[in-house]
Amino acid sequence: MNELMYPKQGKKKKRKKHGKSILQDQSCKQCFLCMLLEGDFREKPVQDHHVFYGSGRRQISEEQGFKVNLCLRHHIDGAEAVHQNRNYDRMLKRMCQQVYELDHSHEDFLGLFHEDFR
């Protein structure tokens, strides 16, 4: 009687791996760029920013912990937003690569992205 009349077919979805950020303790809702650039350590509404994004890179960022908290101003609103400001975007990528390479080789990083951000 415990059998389903119409059992599900197919494979189960692969569980996504969510790594902790290697750059920041994300339990505190502080903007990484506000702290770094302005010395503002207040808690505020923040969004998850995946340092490497687009064309399959977001999943790698999620697994490896390449993410930070950003306030709206530094994430998506205006000229200071990483999605608008190439300098801030590159700065985060370089920092992330440097921290990753403290525990891994340069070749390991290149194996993830086939690109050097230093």
**Are 93 and 32 contacting, i.e. CB atoms less than 8 angstroms apart?**
no
CA distances from 10 to 13, 61, 92, 102, 107 (A): 9, 28, 40, 41, 37
Q: How many CB atoms lie within 10 A of CB 103?
A: 8
The tens-digit pLDDT sequence of the chain (118 residues) is: 567 676 667 676 666 667 799 999 999 999 999 999 999 999 999 999 999 998 889 999 999 999 999 999 999 998 999 999 999 999 999 999 999 999 999 999 999 987 777 7
pLDDT for the residue numbered 15: 61
**Are 31 and 44 contacting, i.e. CB atoms less than 8 angstroms apart?**
yes
Q: 57-64 vs 106-113: helix axis angle to the nearest 10?
A: 140
pLDDT for the residue numbered 14: 64
112 CB-contact burial (10 Å; exposed 0-12 / middle 13-18 / buried 19+): middle
pLDDT for the residue numbered 2: 65
pLDDT for the residue numbered 13: 63
Which residues face 47 on adjacent strands?
A: 70
